Each structure stands twice: as C-alpha cells, then as structure tokens.
Structure 1
C-alpha cells in the first residue's frame, strides 16, 4: 500500500503524474523541472508514429509510457512492464488519471525466459533511487520480493514499432526473450546502457542483420523543461543507451533534437569509446572523460606549482627524518614535530597543492 505522504502530483508537458517525493533523481526532476529524461523522450517520440505498437520494458511510474501513449494515439498501443508492486500501482494510477485507455500496465519483469525473479524492495518513503532497483535470479530461499517474469516473444505481438528497455542490467536478457519478435516485426530497439560489459552482452543478444547501431547521449538537464527552471543540479551529466535502427530508418536519423547526440558505431570498441567519453554525474568539464586532456591538464598544473611542490617535498622529508630521530629518543620531541606537521598541513601552500599532490600520485601509479 502506498502512503499518502510518500507521493505528490505534478503537471508535465503531456498531462499530470503522481511520483514518489523522495525518489532521486526521477522524483526530484519531476518536482523541480516538471519532467524526467525529456531529451530521451523527444528521441523516442521522433521514432514512433500514430497507430504504432510500443513495448516499454521497465516503465517505472510512466514518464515514457504517458509520452509514447500520447504520441501513438488511441489507434496505437503501449504495453508497459513494471516489476515493483508499489511503482506499478503508481503506473496504473497515472495511466488512468490521464485517460490513457490504450496503455496496458503489466506487473511483471521481462527477461530471457518465463519464470520468477527477485529483488530487494527499497523504502519508498525514504530518500532513494527507485529506478536503480535490480532484478536477480530467484533462488527459492525466500530472500527479497518475488515477481513474475515474462518474455516479449511470449506476447506474440503481430506488430511492434519500438522496444524501449530500461531494465537495470537486464537489457540483454530482455532482448534474448524477444529475438523472434525482433526478427519478425523489425522494431526500433532502444536499450539503456552505461558500461562496456553491458554493451557487450547486448550486442551479443541482439540480432543485428539489417540494423544500424548508434550510441545515444541524452542530457540529464533539459534547458527547455516544463517549469523553465534553469537551476541545473545535474551539471554536464548525460544518460546513455544503445539504439538499433532498421536500415530504412537509419538513412535519416533524427539529428536536431535538443539534448540528444547520436554516435554511429560499428564495433564494440566504438561503443566503448563513446560510453567512456560521455560526461557523467560529477564531471565538471567537457574534458573529464578525455584521458589525453586530463594528462595535459595535470602536467600544466604540475608545472605551475612545481616550486611549491618541491619546497613541501623537501619539508616533508626533513620532518620525516626528524621524526625518526625523535622516536629513538633524540630531540626535538615527537609532540613538537607533530605540531610542526599540523602547521604545515594548515598552510595555504599545502591546501593549494593538495589536488596536485593527489593527481601526481595517481599519475605515478599509472606510469608504473
């Protein structure tokens, strides 16, 4: 049961949505910006048309489901899967409150074969990332919450235009359970992906004949957000996914959508490079994922602070020698040396060069 204090209702570009108030980042983004992953939604909306059938694997509370349902219209259909019971309850409420009768919410996970999976249920009233809950194989030991798992092929869909997958590491399994549908219906396939290993599994599972592969970068902060709030708490952060476009669609992919970058890839190495150089949470500049730029910045910083580093290094060596002498009973005393060390650590030079010393240590380790 969902408690009233756990949720709130916000208006979004395509209706209203009920969300968990302490969910971060989805709930936070809805509260402050009136939406979540709007750049990604723009891309997916550009790839579907009125009357299309869409599968939303990992629908959460329905941000994408609602947008895609509006896009395909009443002649289309959106089938949304969500395994967490409380999140599924909000998904159903959001479809109902927006009058979406052509959206079907299913309380199940999607995977490679029918069965059950388990997950650790979060505290929905506490500060948490509800969308980061991961499914795992059910062991029969009774640990965690159990939920039914279906396959896409098990639905025997006659048509499918878009398969959107956000399954927290289970993207490859979802594709494996939909290979027949993919080969028959030739849908656009979009899979959330942020690591080399996950990408390798997805590429191995995906039947790629007749498809063109892109890595998709979408900005976490939307400058065109519904509330026109320009206080960017996400910084340069981008989400990433793999987009498989049928060759006919790949001839003219959408390339002018705000906050969206498509990177054409041929091999896993191409994908890995695109993922590794994507700005993530905490990155402050466009070079934070560029090893060559980082090394050059470090060398420049070392050059600028070489005198301070040399002086402090000499001072450290001197104090270490005196400390060893003091430990064997000679003067000055250990207490006096500790006082001198504390004074040095509190100095302006010490504080200014702290990042340089840390980076130099890292660089030296990498050179070994």
Structure 2
C-alpha cells in the first residue's frame, strides 16, 4: 500500500498500522467511565505511592503506579486485556487452575473469581518481594464470598526440583515481570537471588491436574513445559495453557506443546474481542503489547468460547 496524505501530512503504511494499534483501546470504548476517570485524574497522582485499586470483577489489588501492571490498571482499569479475557472465558466454576509467574496477583485474582467457591488456584512466584505482595493481595480477598481457594507457592516453575537463581535485570523497578531463572548461558553481573525450583509434575503429583495454566516466565516457558510432561500427555492433564512467548514460530516451547498434541493459536487483541490466529502467522508490525499464545487440547471448545464478540472481563 503506497503512502497516503491526510491534512497535508504523508503517512506510510507502517505509520498507519502503529496509529491503529494505539487507537485500539476497547478498555475505554466498552467502559467509558474509565476514560472519564483517567481524564479527570490529576497527573501528579500517577507517580505517587502504592494504591489499592478495584478490578472489574470486584477484587481489590494493591499496586504501585510506577510499575507496568499498576500503571495499566490505573489508566485502563485492566492489564493485558486479551490474556485476561481469554482466561475469563476458558475457566469454568469448580476447576483447579495454576498461575505460573503470578507477580503481585493480578491474574490470580481473576482466576480465583472464575473458579468460584469450589475451585482452587495455585500461584507460583519466586521473587521474595513480589511473593510478599502476592500474599498481601490474597489476604485482601479472604472474606470475599464465592471465591476460590488460593495457595501461593514461593518457587519458580522449571524442569527440575532443585535450588536455582533468579536474575533481576535493570528496569525491574518499573516492570516487575522482568526477572527470570538463571541458566548457564547467563554470565553477566546482574543481581541474583537464590530461589527454589519446582516442576508442575512434582507439585501436582498428588493433586488434581490444573485444567487451565497461565505462564509468564520471561523466556523460561520451554523449561516449564519440560517439567510438566506427565500433565501434558495424560488424558486427565492440562486442557488449556495461556503463555507469553516473544520468539518467532516455532520456539522450543511451541514445538513441545504441539508435539504433545496441543493445537496452538496466537492471541490477537481485536477491537471487538479476542482473536485466535494461526501461530505461524507473523506478528503485527510495530506490536508493543506482550505476545501470548493459547495451547489447547480442545480446539473446538476454545474457538467457541472465544468467538463471541465483546469483552466479558470488563463487565466483571
């Protein structure tokens, strides 16, 4: 497509795509009160101390406005809309689910609401500061009725049960999700924290398998899957996996789940709702939001659940 001229300015196709992505804010269109709240909020409030914010599904979350999750919830009322919506639609009441890389508990809160009083959420977070904040947020929900049981686990999920090290890179203060499990290939002098490693197979050896698992481990996804081979191959194993992966298809994580019989989709944020794309498709040019995928044993169910227009998570 050739460049186009609007109001005397020339816009290239790449510029128009980036503009369309920035205007793709269903968080405001479907919740206009959130836009009014942002426009009326004094700018000096954005960088102040920790605040307790109310999420659309009725649970409170204590966040810091300078961090990526806190800033997003403060401005948009929600964080990572397409992953939030996907989990909202895939989780059924009474199910057992897992949040791998729980951070301060945003996705955990949604999962606890969706599984209801007879369900269970296991939340893994290895960073000591984030784990404390996760525990504190879980405590805020203790008296909320019809909420699932939430069990926080201070460990990183990997391919073995052992001690390990967590690398905390520069920029962690503004994005608490950047830390990752150290490997032999990591040899720089960044801060490291001694942590416990576990596997999904080991943790759920004497418990029902989680039906849905969310994974955000900053490049450690293949290791997580390597430690979950029993759960990935069992008929009573994991049904749906929502995971972040910044690599181009096929990454080691993508290959492993496909080899275990899962159908892989790329999650897309469309204005009218979540979209399922072929995982082999190239990522949209200029995309700046996290790239996430759905691996599912029941593709028909996933397509049906995610085909309905709208954003249910914005309504609670």
Normalising by structure 2, we get a TM-score of 0.68
Specify which of 55, 65, 73 is matched with residue 21 of structure 1.
65
Displacement of 1:121 after TM fit? 3.8
Which piece of structure 1 moves more, 236-245 or 62-71?
236-245
Query: 8 Å contact 1:118–1:143 — kept in the other structure?
Result: no
Report SS of the residue matched to 2:62: strand
Match of 1:183 in 2: 233
**Structure 2 stretches of 5 or more lacking a match?**
1-47, 274-285
Displacement of 1:203 after TM fit? 2.3
1:255 to 1:90, Cα distance in 2 relative to 1, 3 A: same
Match of 1:112 in 2: 159
Query: 8 Å contact 2:102–2:125 — kept in the other structure?
Result: yes
Specify which of 73, 78, 82 is matched with residue 39 of structure 1.
82
Match of 2:294 in 1: 243
Whether 1:255 and 2:301 are equivalent positions in the alignment is no
Report SS of the residue matched to 1:40: helix
Match of 1:166 in 2: 216
Displacement of 1:251 after TM fit? 5.9
Query: 8 Å contact 1:54–1:163 — kept in the other structure?
Result: yes
Whether 1:147 and 2:147 are equivalent positions in the alignment is no
- 1:54-107 C-alpha deviation (Å, 9 max, x unpaired): 011001111110001100011000000011111111111111101256011111
Report SS of the residue matched to 2:241: strand
Match of 2:279 in 1: none
Query: 8 Å contact 2:83–2:242 — kept in the other structure?
Result: no
Query: 8 Å contact 1:22–1:128 — kept in the other structure?
Result: yes
**Structure 1 stretches of 5 or more lacking a match?**
224-234, 261-368
Report SS of the residue matched to 1:146: strand
Report SS of the residue matched to 2:291: strand
Distance in 2 separating the partners of 1:243 and 1:51: 21
1:51 to 1:259, Cα distance in 2 relative to 1, 3 A: closer
- 1:249-292 C-alpha deviation (Å, 9 max, x unpaired): 246341235479xxxxxxxxxxxxxxxxxxxxxxxxxxxxxxxx
Displacement of 1:241 after TM fit? 1.5
Whether 1:192 and 2:234 are equivalent positions in the alignment is no
1:73 to 1:89, Cα distance in 2 relative to 1, 3 A: same
Query: 8 Å contact 1:213–1:243 — kept in the other structure?
Result: yes
Displacement of 1:243 after TM fit? 1.0
Displacement of 1:176 after TM fit? 0.8
Displacement of 1:122 after TM fit? 6.3
1:187 to 1:12, Cα distance in 2 relative to 1, 3 A: same
Distance in 1 separating the partners of 2:167 and 2:49: 19
Match of 2:253 in 1: 202
Distance in 1 separating the partners of 2:197 and 2:65: 28
Specify which of 43, 50, 63 is matched with residue 106 of structure 2.
63
Distance in 2 separating the partners of 1:257 and 1:166: 26
Normalising by structure 1, we get a TM-score of 0.59
Which piece of structure 1 moves more, 144-153 or 155-164?
155-164
